[in-house]
Amino acid sequence: MPDQIAIVIVAAGRGERAGGPEPKQWQDLGGQSVLARSVGAFAGIGPVTVVLHPDEMLRGVEAFAGRVTLVAGGATRAASVRNALETLEGRGYTRVLIHDGARPLVSPALIGRVMAALDTAPGAAPALSVTDALWTGTEGHVTGTADRTGLYRAQTPQGFHFPAILQAHRGFAGVAADDVEVARAAGLDVAIVEGEEENIKITWPGDFARAARILGLDTMEIRTGQGYDVHAFTEGDHVMLCGVKVPHGRGLLGHSDADVGMHALTDAIYGALAEGDIGRHFPPSDPQWKGAPSEIFLAHAGALAREKGYRLMNADVTLVCERPKIGPHAIAMAAELARILGTGPDRISVKATTSERLGFTGREEGIAALAIATLVRE
Ligand code: MG
Q: What is the pLDDT of residues 320-346, one digit of tens each?
A: 999 999 999 999 999 999 999 999 999
| Helices and strands, number each (H, E), in the chain | 12, 19
Distance 260 CA to ligand 1 centre (A): 5
d(CA 216, CA 193): 26
Distance 377 CA to ligand 1 centre (A): 28
Distance 254 CA to ligand 1 centre (A): 7
DSSP-derived secondary structure for 169-217: HHT--S--SSHHHHHHHTT--EEEEE--TT-----STHHHHHHHHHTT-
The answer to whether the CB of 269 falls within 8 A of the CB of 312 is: yes
> Which residues of the chain are in CATH 3.90.550.10 domains?
5-214
- The CATH code of the domain at 221-377 is 3.30.1330.50
> Which residues of the chain are in CATH 3.30.1330.50 domains?
221-377
Q: What percent of the chain has pLDDT over 90?
A: 85
- The CATH code of the domain at 5-214 is 3.90.550.10
Length of the chain: 378
Q: How far from the centroid of its chain's Cα atoms is residue 66's Cα?
A: 32
Q: Which of 39, 50, 58, 48 is nearest to 12 (CA)?
A: 50
Q: What is the pLDDT of residues 346-375, one digit of tens each?
A: 999 999 999 999 999 999 999 999 999 999
Distance 297 CA to ligand 1 centre (A): 11
Q: What is the pLDDT of residues 147-157, one digit of tens each?
A: 999 999 999 99
pLDDT at position 14 over 80: no
Q: What percent of the chain has pLDDT over 70?
A: 98
Distance 278 CA to ligand 1 centre (A): 8
pTM over 0.75: no
How confident is the model at residue 16, as a pLDDT? 64
